[in-house]
Structure 1
Amino acid sequence: MDQTCKHLAWLEFVHARVERHIICNQRLQTLANHLPDKDSKYPSIALLLGHDTKNKVLRDLLPKGSLKKQQANATSLNLRPDTQSSKSPYPIYYADLDPTEHTCSLELGNKTGCHVQQHFQVSWVPESQQNLLDVVISRLLFLFTDVICLFADDLGGLETTRIFLTNWTLLAIGSHIGPPLRPRVLVVQRDSGNPMQTLERDLFLSDLTRDVDINRVFASVKVVTLPQKYQTSQRRRLSFILELANSLDSARGDRMAASMLFAATHQAALFRRALVNVTRTAATPFNFIQAARQGNEVRSDLVEHTENVLRVSQKLPTGVVVLMIASSAILDAYPKGMHGFDPKLLFRTLYKSLYRSALCRVSTSTPDDVSNEIQERFCALRAEMVNNGTSSADIHLSTLRSLQPSWSLLKSNQTCLVCLVQSPEHVLSCGHALCENCIKRFGCEVSLRSGLHSSYEIRECPVCGKRERFLVRLKPPTAGFRILSIDGGGLRGIVPLETLSLLQQLAQSDCPIQELFDLAYGTSIGGIIVLGLFVKKMTVEQLLYFFRSFAHTLFGARRSKDDSSLLPRALKSLLTSNSMYDTGLFEQTLISQFGPNRQLFDYEGPTASGTKVAVTAVKVSETSTPTRIFTNYNGSRRRQSESGYRFERPFRADQEPYVWQVARATSAAPIYFRAIKIPSLGIYRDGGVSHHNNPINIALWESRYIWPSVIRPDVVLSLGTGYEETSQSPLVKTPKISFPWSFSFSVKDTPLHCLISSFKGELDGQRTWREFMNHRPEHEKPDYFRLTLELPGPEPAIDDYDSIEVLSSAVRLQPSGPETRRGVLMALLISSLFFELQEMPSYGDGMYYCHGSVRCRSSGALKSLLKLHPLGNLELFKDGNSLGVFLSEQDICGTCRRYRKPVHFFVKDLDDEINLCVKWDIDQTRKISAMPRRVSWFVDRQGLDMPFGSATDPGVIYEECGGCAPSEQKLPTWTPGPLRTKRKRSYEVMDVEPHKKRSKR
Structure 2
Amino acid sequence: RVPTTGDVHLYADPSSYLTRTPLLHADCEGLDGGEAVPRGLRHRSKGKDDRSSNMNEQRKKLKKTRHGSERNILWAVSSETKKREYAVTELYPRLLYTFSDVVVFVLRNPRSFESTVLEKLIDWGAASINKSVNQPTLPHAIIVLNATDQVDDKEWDVDTATQLLLDDINDAISRVPRLEDLSKGWRETGRKIANTKDLLDCYYASVSIVRIPSRGRYMLMDDQVEKLFQLIKQKARQSLDTKKEARMLATAEQLQVYLQAAYDHFSKDLSTPFDFIKEALRHNPIPRDLGGNILNLALSIKENSSDAKIQLGDTAKVFSEITFMIASCIILDSVRQNLLGTTLQLLNDAYVEFCEYAVDRFDNFYAPCQYVSSRYGRCRNFKSGHSSKGHQNAGGKIIGSGGYQSAFSFDDFMPEWIASIQDALLKIQVELDDPNRHGPGRGWGEGKIAVELQHRHTLNWLYRRLGDATNFVSHTTCFSCLRELPEHRLPCGHVLCGPCTSSYGAKISKTVIELKNCPLHYEKTSWNPPWLVKVKPAFAGTRILCLDGGGGVRAIVQLHALKAIERVLGPALPIQCFLDLIVGTGTGGILALGLGTKNWPVNDCIHQLKELCVKAFTIREMIGIPILEKLSLFNHHSMYKTKPLEAILKERFEAIPLFGGAAPIGSAEMATKVAVTSTTAHDNGAVVIANYNRLEVENYEIPYKFLRSDGPYTEFQIWEAARATSAAPPFFKPFVKETGISGIYKDGGYHHNNPVLVAQQERKLIWNDVAGSHPDILLSLGIGTNNVDKDDDRSIYSSGGDSVDGSKDGTSPTKPNRPSIWTGLSLDSLVKDVDRFMASRDIWDNFVSEHTAARSNNNSGSSRGNHRRYIRLNPDLQLPLPRLDDVEALDNLERAAAANFKRNSVKIQEIAHRLVASSFFFEKDPSSVQQKNGKGTWKCKGQLHCRFDPQSSEMYGLGRFLQDCTTSDFEPFFLIEDRSDHKTAFEIPLPEIISSMCLRGVFNPPNVYIPISKELSTINIYLCLQSNPYPHSANGYLPISGFPRELVSEEIKPRGLFRPALVAARRSDDDKRGAGGNPQRYRSVRERDQNSTANGIPAVRRTSPHSDLRGAFGATNGRPVPETPDDVGMMRTQSQYYELEA
Report what 1:278 is aligned to.
none
SS at 1:776's partner residue? helix
Report what 2:542 is aligned to.
481
2:675 to 614, 619, 627: 614
Query: Aligned partner of 1:359: which letter?
Result: V
1:456 aligns with 2:513: yes
Report what 2:330 is aligned to.
329
Specify every segment of 5 or more residues in structure 2 that has no aligned partner in the other structure, as ranges. 1-286, 306-317, 365-409, 794-804, 854-862, 949-954, 1029-1034, 1056-1061, 1064-1142
Tell me, in whole angstroms, the C-alpha distance in 2 between the residues paired with 1:723 and 1:504.
22
Note the C-alpha offset of 1:464: 2.6
Please tell me whether the aligned partners of residues 921 and 1041 of structure 2 are also in contact (alpha carbons under 8 angstroms): yes
Please tell me whether the aligned partners of residues 724 and 795 of structure 1 are also in contact (alpha carbons under 8 angstroms): yes
Tell me, in whole angstroms, the C-alpha distance in 2 between the residues paired with 1:362 and 1:613.
34
Note the C-alpha offset of 1:611: 1.9
Please tell me whether the aligned partners of residues 570 and 741 of structure 1 are also in contact (alpha carbons under 8 angstroms): no
Report what 2:272 is aligned to.
none
Please tell me whether the aligned partners of residues 782 and 873 of structure 2 are also in contact (alpha carbons under 8 angstroms): yes
Deviations 1:9-37 (A, max 9, x none): xxxxxxxxxxxxxxxxxxxxxxxxxxxxx
Report what 1:714 is aligned to.
776
Report what 2:473 is aligned to.
411
Note the C-alpha offset of 1:937: 5.0
Note the C-alpha offset of 1:604: 5.4
1:590 aligns with 2:590: no
Pairing 1:782-797 to 2, within 5 Å after superposition: 782-792=868-878, 795-797=881-883
2:1009 to 877, 890, 904: 904
SS at 1:629's partner residue? strand
Kindly indicate whether structure 1 or structure 2 has the higher relative contact order, using CA contacts under 8 Å at least 6 residues apart.
Answer: 1
Report what 2:431 is aligned to.
384
Tell me, in whole angstroms, the C-alpha distance in 2 between the residues paired with 1:893 and 1:837.
26
1:924 aligns with 2:1036: yes
SS at 2:1022's partner residue? strand
Tell me, in whole angstroms, the C-alpha distance in 2 between the residues paired with 1:608 and 1:903.
32
Tell me, in whole angstroms, the C-alpha distance in 2 between the residues paired with 1:345 and 1:783.
49
Pairing 1:112-123 to 2, within 5 Å after superposition: none
Tell me, in whole angstroms, the C-alpha distance in 1 between the residues paired with 2:912 and 2:998.
24
CA 1:674–1:601 in 2, change beyond 3 Å: closer, same or farther? farther
Note the C-alpha offset of 1:894: 7.7
Report what 2:932 is aligned to.
844
Deviations 1:823-869 (A, max 9, x none): 11111110111111135124332333211111110135742651551
Report what 2:972 is aligned to.
874
CA 1:529–1:398 in 2, change beyond 3 Å: closer, same or farther? same
Report what 1:470 is aligned to.
531
Query: Aligned partner of 2:912: which letter?
Result: L
Note the C-alpha offset of 1:807: 1.3
Identity, in percent, stands at: 26
Tell me, in whole angstroms, the C-alpha distance in 2 between the residues paired with 1:577 and 1:762.
24
Tell me, in whole angstroms, the C-alpha distance in 2 between the residues paired with 1:614 and 1:378.
42
Deviations 1:475-506 (A, max 9, x none): 11131111111111111110111111222222
Query: Aligned partner of 1:646: which letter?
Result: K
2:578 to 509, 513, 516: 516
2:835 to 750, 760, 782: 760
Please tell me whether the aligned partners of residues 786 and 806 of structure 2 are also in contact (alpha carbons under 8 angstroms): no
Note the C-alpha offset of 1:319: 3.4
CA 1:411–1:740 in 2, change beyond 3 Å: closer, same or farther? farther
Report what 1:834 is aligned to.
921
Note the C-alpha offset of 1:601: 3.6
Query: Aligned partner of 1:538: which letter?
Result: W
Report what 1:374 is aligned to.
421
CA 1:414–1:570 in 2, change beyond 3 Å: closer, same or farther? farther
Report what 2:1125 is aligned to.
none
Tell me, in whole angstroms, the C-alpha distance in 2 between the residues paired with 1:741 and 1:441.
63
Please tell me whether the aligned partners of residues 313 and 321 of structure 1 are also in contact (alpha carbons under 8 angstroms): no
CA 1:835–1:617 in 2, change beyond 3 Å: closer, same or farther? same
Query: Aligned partner of 1:823: which letter?
Result: E
Report what 2:706 is aligned to.
647
Query: Aligned partner of 1:622: which letter?
Result: D
CA 1:463–1:816 in 2, change beyond 3 Å: closer, same or farther? same
Q: TM-score, normalised by structure 2?
A: 0.52
Bigger share in strand: 1
Note the C-alpha offset of 1:693: 1.0
Tell me, in whole angstroms, the C-alpha distance in 2 between the residues paired with 1:559 and 1:722.
28
Note the C-alpha offset of 1:667: 0.7
SS at 1:900's partner residue? coil
Tell me, in whole angstroms, the C-alpha distance in 2 between the residues paired with 1:757 and 1:726.
23
Report what 1:855 is aligned to.
945
Tell me, in whole angstroms, the C-alpha distance in 1 between the residues paired with 2:672 and 2:295.
29
SS at 1:935's partner residue? coil
Tell me, in whole angstroms, the C-alpha distance in 1 between the residues paired with 2:966 and 2:1041.
22
Q: TM-score, normalised by structure 1?
A: 0.59
Report what 1:798 is aligned to.
884
SS at 2:322's partner residue? helix
CA 1:667–1:566 in 2, change beyond 3 Å: closer, same or farther? farther
Query: Aligned partner of 2:430: which letter?
Result: A
CA 1:634–1:396 in 2, change beyond 3 Å: closer, same or farther? same
Pairing 1:566-581 to 2, within 5 Å after superposition: 573-581=632-640
Note the C-alpha offset of 1:766: 2.4
Tell me, in whole angstroms, the C-alpha distance in 2 between the residues paired with 1:856 and 1:941.
26
Could you tell which deviates more after superposition, 731-740 or 352-361? 731-740
Tell me, in whole angstroms, the C-alpha distance in 1 between the residues paired with 2:723 and 2:833.
25
CA 1:404–1:514 in 2, change beyond 3 Å: closer, same or farther? same
Note the C-alpha offset of 1:376: 2.7
Query: Aligned partner of 1:326: which letter?
Result: A
Report what 2:561 is aligned to.
499
Deviations 1:347-393 (A, max 9, x none): 22332233323332322733343333223322321221122345211
1:884 aligns with 2:987: yes
Report what 1:547 is aligned to.
609
1:630 aligns with 2:689: yes
Tell me, in whole angstroms, the C-alpha distance in 2 between the residues paired with 1:787 and 1:358.
50
Query: Aligned partner of 1:852: which letter?
Result: G
Could you tell which deviates more after superposition, 387-396 or 729-738? 729-738
Query: Aligned partner of 1:873: which letter?
Result: E
Please tell me whether the aligned partners of residues 523 and 686 of structure 1 are also in contact (alpha carbons under 8 angstroms): no
Note the C-alpha offset of 1:734: 7.7
Report what 2:1088 is aligned to.
none
Tell me, in whole angstroms, the C-alpha distance in 1 between the residues paired with 2:839 and 2:651.
31
Please tell me whether the aligned partners of residues 814 and 820 of structure 2 are also in contact (alpha carbons under 8 angstroms): no
Aligned length: 637
1:810 to 896, 899, 913: 896
Tell me, in whole angstroms, the C-alpha distance in 2 between the residues paired with 1:893 and 1:726.
46
Query: Aligned partner of 1:320: which letter?
Result: E
Tell me, in whole angstroms, the C-alpha distance in 1 between the residues paired with 2:806 and 2:552.
25
Tell me, in whole angstroms, the C-alpha distance in 2 between the residues paired with 1:875 and 1:420.
46
Please tell me whether the aligned partners of residues 921 and 945 of structure 2 are also in contact (alpha carbons under 8 angstroms): yes
Report what 1:223 is aligned to.
none
1:935 aligns with 2:1047: yes
Note the C-alpha offset of 1:428: 1.5
SS at 2:1038's partner residue? strand
1:671 aligns with 2:730: yes
Note the C-alpha offset of 1:729: 7.8
Please tell me whether the aligned partners of residues 919 and 946 of structure 2 are also in contact (alpha carbons under 8 angstroms): yes
SS at 2:474's partner residue? coil
CA 1:666–1:437 in 2, change beyond 3 Å: closer, same or farther? same
Tell me, in whole angstroms, the C-alpha distance in 2 between the residues paired with 1:791 and 1:686.
29
Report what 2:4 is aligned to.
none
SS at 1:821's partner residue? helix
CA 1:723–1:372 in 2, change beyond 3 Å: closer, same or farther? farther
Note the C-alpha offset of 1:590: 0.9
Report what 1:303 is aligned to.
291
Pairing 1:81-120 to 2, within 5 Å after superposition: none
Pairing 1:710-789 to 2, within 5 Å after superposition: 710=770, 711=772, 712-725=774-787, 735=808, 753=828, 755-778=830-853, 779=863, 780-789=866-875
Tell me, in whole angstroms, the C-alpha distance in 2 between the residues paired with 1:895 and 1:427.
32
CA 1:461–1:426 in 2, change beyond 3 Å: closer, same or farther? same
SS at 2:336's partner residue? coil
SS at 1:457's partner residue? strand
Please tell me whether the aligned partners of residues 963 and 994 of structure 2 are also in contact (alpha carbons under 8 angstroms): no
Query: Aligned partner of 2:1027: which letter?
Result: D
Report what 2:750 is aligned to.
690
